[in-house]
């Protein structure tokens, strides 16, 4: 019993901390690198395709002049930003693709940051890590540092794509740096919200909300003459103010860099002041009496759907309210300037000369966020299965078809609500902004897009059955992939059958023209078939976890 | 409700090359408490996942009171489950989880549930994310026992509980058996299995290596004698029922005896025994012997 126990001498503390720090950096790299590569490729491809269309659209001096007049309208500027140096590849691409690429990168940055920090902490994956010799503050700081590398890589890819497409070196560098810095700022912002809020969903929602507010601030700054200084308060405004090929200004980029650094420092400081597993903003720990939505698996699925639906409604509603507000102004302006409608159509903004056409073209974007919502909800249900939250429900006398059916029902109800919110907000916006679009027409327009969003739900359901680890990716294929395919194929002048592969090619411009009922029925039937196949596969497979 | 509470026939489950469960046969009678033992990776949890219809086997079938386990709508009316490592919806309170689980199946005894909440010392007003492992387990145990289902499938249900709550658990299992409920209890806690189970099955590499009543399993093992003596060394080798003799020190030997100790005792008579220690080994040692290890001394 009393045999002497030899305790190995511990390594000196700095050596241990250095090795642990390196291990944490490698862990973070491993979680980020694949996604970063995909985002860099998509960003570079999008930039290259738009840059390549420059000669066709903006190379003609008459068209460029027309576009410049078009952009003189405040409402058009609010929606699409202020164009500069449209005659150059760098200026034209920054205007057409810059914001889209930045939004894409920022959204991904928020999701990956909250997943690898708060998500890992929430699921307990960090417990072992944090019991080592590195404090929470260092682990968070190292993750944020690694995560910030990803937007830098994406920015570099954008700069290279621009340069190869013929943009000037300075314009390419400013565009790339601006994109990268917006991404780094999104990482820092999400890092901070992940310290303040105790759940991954809450942290991601708050950060996406803040970025959406940034987009709105940019729109207001561009649209209202006296408020153009507001753009200095928005990351997307600063990106615009850097003016690639039209001044190549460094000051806005410096502001972005300082803001990102400050947010990152705040995130690290917040991590040092809170307890593991908690947010800096604490929550109530006691709650009496059960709330509603617990009476059946269907009610419970709806209950879990409620908060995400409200969050997505706020984002989608704000966008369509804004577009509704400016719709009358834009279309009235176009109507006065005979001939610009054709120019706008050639530039990819067709049918903008009437409120119906303008609204219809914006409703055409709606399936992207609504489909993403559907994919995210079904991914949440497989996440619950994988981390065994749903074991207790699965052990109830409830079949798999009913369990997945409840999720699909709640998700479909959510998509119906989201498209209706978009219609009501557009109608409200146009009513305030001068009228022109009835509520019925708005509802017909947004409901017309529903089959494409349902296609995303169907694809996601199929993945729940067959590829449960890739539900978001498969779910986004019809809407994200379909949308990009159409944009790229049309810009590149691809054959019609390639364009037709995208479900967006089969959406009629409702309320400008009547709905294409046959196409809607085919898309809906396809969505149902995918969902049914997914449900059958889900019934037959082993549960995760 | 026909047939045994749980009937497993020729069950085989493979994950790629790995055979998790290999041609397993098992039967648990109505009203029986069956202990399911085995080292990590023996296939206990896989068997339970098949019983619950979470996993489809490659061969064989499982029936719960005659109902195919894959028919979860009917089979799960007859059973309640406590998973190993209970995960709950973090934003729901304990009370809300209990409410949800009662609403999604018929026949929860809410009066008994209130009593169980009291006895297990669960604070149901707190959100699940604030619960410790043991508290999450309590929520699942309360929900399962409150169903009064004729079969309880419990997968290491007490690994996070403190000793006092564990005593309550054992008491609750005994009450369930008195009420005619069957319990299928997977466990590493041998003392617990020994305390509450009627029969024990030992699983090893996906195969059942032993099924026996707890008392017979214990009797399988030999009694261990440690003897101090002052006279001449006793001649024990070769006597009926006596195993190898270990000389611990001068005047001290240890040996195992199976069956009647009469021959050993008469051999010891001449050795002038100064101290005699007879130990009946616990289930743990029986168990470890089955897996080819010596119990640590």
**Shortest CA gap B68–chain A (Å):** 13
**Nearest by CB: B96 against A290, A297, A542:** A290
Residue B81 distance to chain A (closest CA, Å): 6
DSSP string, A389-413: TTHHHHTSS--HHHHHHHHHHHHHH
Whole-angstrom distance between the N-terminal and C-terminal Cα of chain A? 42
pLDDT, position B3: 85
The answer to whether the CB atoms of A294 and B96 lie below 8 A apart is yes
User: Residues B267, B225: contact at Cβ < 8 Å?
Assistant: no
Of B56, B81, B127, the CB nearest to A395: B81
Summarised one tens digit per residue, pLDDT across range B41-88 is 889 999 999 999 999 999 999 999 999 999 999 999 999 999 998 999
Sheet holding B207-213, edge to edge: B79-82, B151-155, B182-186, B33-37, B199-204, B207-213
Chain A residues with CB inside 8 Å of B130's CB?
A: 285
Taking an 8 Å cut-off on Cβ atoms, the answer to whether A290 and B52 are in contact is no
Whole-number average pLDDT of chain B: 89
Question: Which residue of B91, B105, B107 is the best one to mutate when testing the A interface, meaning the one whose CB has the most A CBs within 10 A?
Answer: B91
For B28, the 3-state DSSP assignment is strand
d(CA B143, CA B159): 17
The answer to whether the CB atoms of B140 and A289 lie below 8 A apart is no
A393 interaction partners in chain B (CB closer than 8 Å): 100-101, 104
**For tokens 């090929």, what's the residue?**
A245
- pLDDT tens digits, residue range B139-173? 999 999 999 999 999 999 998 899 999 999 999 99
Q: Where are the beta strands (DSSP E) in B223-286?
A: 223-229, 246-249, 252-257, 273-279
* CATH assignment of B6-213, among 3.40.140.10, 3.40.190.10, 1.10.3210.10, 3.40.50.300: 3.40.50.300
Indicate yes or no: CB of A285 within 8 angstroms of CB of B127.
yes
Residue contact B125–A286, C-beta within 8 A: yes
Does ipTM surpass 0.90 in this model?
A: no
CB distance B90–A393 less than 8 Å?
A: no
* B interface residues, A as partner, C-beta within 8 Å: 49, 52, 54-56, 72-77, 79-81, 83, 85-93, 95-97, 99-101, 103-106, 125-127, 129-130, 140, 143
Q: What is the pLDDT along chain A (545 residues), one digit of tens a residue?
A: 455 666 666 666 666 778 888 989 999 999 899 999 999 999 999 899 888 888 877 667 777 777 777 777 777 787 778 888 888 899 989 988 899 899 989 999 999 999 999 989 987 788 888 888 889 999 999 999 999 999 999 999 999 999 999 999 999 999 999 999 999 999 999 999 999 998 888 899 899 989 989 998 998 888 877 888 999 999 999 999 999 999 999 999 999 999 999 999 999 999 999 988 888 886 665 666 667 889 999 999 999 999 899 989 998 998 899 888 888 877 777 777 656 666 656 555 566 678 888 899 889 999 999 999 999 999 999 989 998 999 999 999 999 999 999 999 999 999 999 999 999 999 999 998 877 799 999 999 999 999 999 999 999 999 999 999 889 889 999 998 898 888 778 777 788 898 899 999 999 989 988 999 999 999 999 999 999 999 999 999 999 98
Q: Output b/e per residue, B52-89; b: 16+ Cβ within 10 A.
A: bbbbebeebebbbbebebbebeebbbbbbbbbbebbbb
Size of interface A-B (CB pairs under 8 A): 96
Nearest to B99 among A290, A391, A394 (CB): A290
Flag if B126 and A394 touch (Cβ within 8 Å).
Answer: no
In the predicted model, residues of chain B with pLDDT beneath 50 are: 293-297
Instruction: Return the domain boundaries, chain B.
Output: 6-213, 222-279
């Amino acid at each position: 019993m009393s045999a002497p126990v030899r305790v190995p001498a511990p390594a000196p503390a700095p050596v241990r901390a250095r090795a642990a720090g390196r291990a944490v950096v490698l862990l973070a790299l491993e979680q980020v690198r694949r996604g970063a590569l995909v985002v860099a490729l998509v960003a570079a491809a999008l930039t290259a395709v738009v840059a390549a269309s420059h000669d066709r659209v903006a190379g003609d001096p008459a068209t460029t002049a027309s576009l410049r007049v078009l952009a003189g309208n405040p409402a058009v500027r609010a929606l699409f930003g202020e164009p500069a140096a449209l005659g150059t590849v760098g200026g034209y691409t920054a205007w057409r693709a810059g914001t889209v690429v930045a939004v894409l990168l920022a959204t991904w940055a928020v999701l990956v940051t909250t997943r690898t920090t708060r998500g890992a902490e929430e699921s307990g994956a960090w417990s072992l890590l944090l019991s080592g010799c590195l404090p929470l503050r260092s682990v968070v700081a190292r993750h944020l540092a690694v995560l910030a590398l990803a937007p830098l890589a994406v920015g570099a890819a954008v700069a290279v794509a621009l340069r190869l497409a013929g943009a000037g070196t300075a314009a390419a560098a400013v565009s790339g740096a601006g994109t990268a810095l917006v991404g780094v700022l999104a990482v820092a912002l999400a890092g901070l919200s992940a310290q303040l809020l105790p759940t991954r969903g809450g942290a991601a929602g708050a950060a996406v909300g803040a970025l959406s507010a940034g987009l709105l601030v940019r729109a207001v700054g561009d649209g209202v003459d006296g408020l153009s200084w507001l753009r200095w308060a928005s990351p997307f405004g600063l990106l615009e103010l850097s003016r690639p090929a039209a001044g190549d200004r460094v000051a806005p980029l410096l502001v972005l860099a300082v803001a990102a650094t400050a947010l990152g420092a705040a995130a690290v400081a917040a991590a040092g002041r809170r307890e593991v597993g908690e947010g800096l903003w604490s929550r109530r720990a006691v709650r009496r009496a059960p709330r509603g939505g617990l009476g059946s698996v269907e009610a419970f699925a709806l209950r879990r759907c409620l908060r995400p639906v409200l969050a997505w409604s706020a984002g989608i509603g704000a966008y369509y309210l804004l577009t509704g507000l400016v719709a009358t102004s834009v279309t009235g302006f176009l109507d006065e300037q005979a001939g610009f409608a054709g120019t706008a159509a050639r530039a990819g903004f067709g049918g903008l000369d009437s409120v119906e056409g303008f609204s219809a073209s914006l409703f055409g974007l709606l399936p992207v966020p609504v489909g993403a919502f559907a994919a995210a909800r079904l991914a949440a249900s497989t996440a619950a299965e994988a981390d065994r939250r749903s074991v207790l429900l699965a052990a109830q006398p409830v079949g798999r078809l009913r369990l997945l059916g409840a999720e699909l029902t709640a998700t479909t109800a959510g998509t119906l609500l989201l498209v209706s919110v978009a219609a009501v907000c557009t109608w409200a916006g146009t009513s305030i902004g001068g009228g022109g679009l009835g509520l019925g027409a708005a509802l017909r327009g947004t409901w017309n897009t529903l089959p494409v969003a349902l296609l995303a739900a169907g694809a996601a359901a199929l993945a729940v059955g067959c590829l449960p680890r890739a539900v978001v990716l498969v779910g986004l294929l019809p809407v994200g992939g379909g949308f990009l395919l159409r944009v790229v194929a049309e810009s590149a002048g691809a054959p019609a059958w390639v364009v037709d592969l995208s479900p967006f090619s089969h959406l009629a411009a409702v309320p400008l023209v009547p709905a294409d009922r046959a196409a809607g029925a085919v898309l809906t039937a396809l969505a149902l078939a995918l969902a049914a196949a997914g449900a059958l596969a889900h019934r037959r497979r082993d549960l995760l976890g | 409700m026909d047939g045994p509470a749980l009937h497993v026939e020729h069950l085989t489950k493979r994950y790629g090359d790995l055979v998790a469960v290999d041609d397993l046969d098992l039967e648990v009678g109505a009203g029986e408490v069956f202990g399911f033992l085995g080292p990590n990776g023996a296939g206990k949890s896989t068997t339970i996942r098949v019983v619950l219809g979470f996993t489809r086997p490659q061969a064989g079938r499982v029936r719960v009171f005659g109902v195919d386990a894959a028919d979860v709508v009917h089979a799960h009316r007859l059973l309640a489950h406590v998973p190993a490592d209970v995960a709950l919806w973090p934003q729901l309170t304990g009370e809300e989880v209990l409410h949800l689980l009662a609403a999604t199946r018929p026949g929860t005894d809410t009066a008994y549930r209130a009593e169980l909440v009291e006895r297990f010392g669960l604070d149901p007003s707190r959100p699940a994310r604030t619960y410790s492992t043991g508290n999450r387990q309590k929520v699942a145990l309360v929900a399962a026992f409150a169903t009064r289902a004729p079969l309880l499938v419990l997968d290491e249900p007490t690994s996070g509980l403190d000793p006092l709550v564990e005593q309550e658990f054992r008491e609750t299992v005994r009450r369930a058996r008195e009420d005619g409920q069957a319990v299928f209890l997977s466990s590493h806690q041998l003392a617990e299995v020994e305390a509450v189970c009627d029969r024990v099955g030992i699983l090893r590499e996906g195969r059942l290596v032993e099924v026996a009543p707890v008392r017979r399993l214990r009797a399988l093992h030999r009694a261990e004698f440690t003897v101090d003596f002052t006279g001449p060394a006793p001649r024990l080798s070769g006597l009926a029922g006596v195993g190898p003799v270990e000389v611990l020190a001068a005047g001290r030997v240890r040996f195992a005896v199976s069956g009647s100790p009469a021959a050993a005792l008469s051999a010891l008579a001449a050795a002038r025994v100064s101290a005699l220690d007879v130990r009946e080994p616990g289930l743990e040692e029986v168990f470890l012997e089955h897996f080819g290890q010596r119990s640590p001394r």
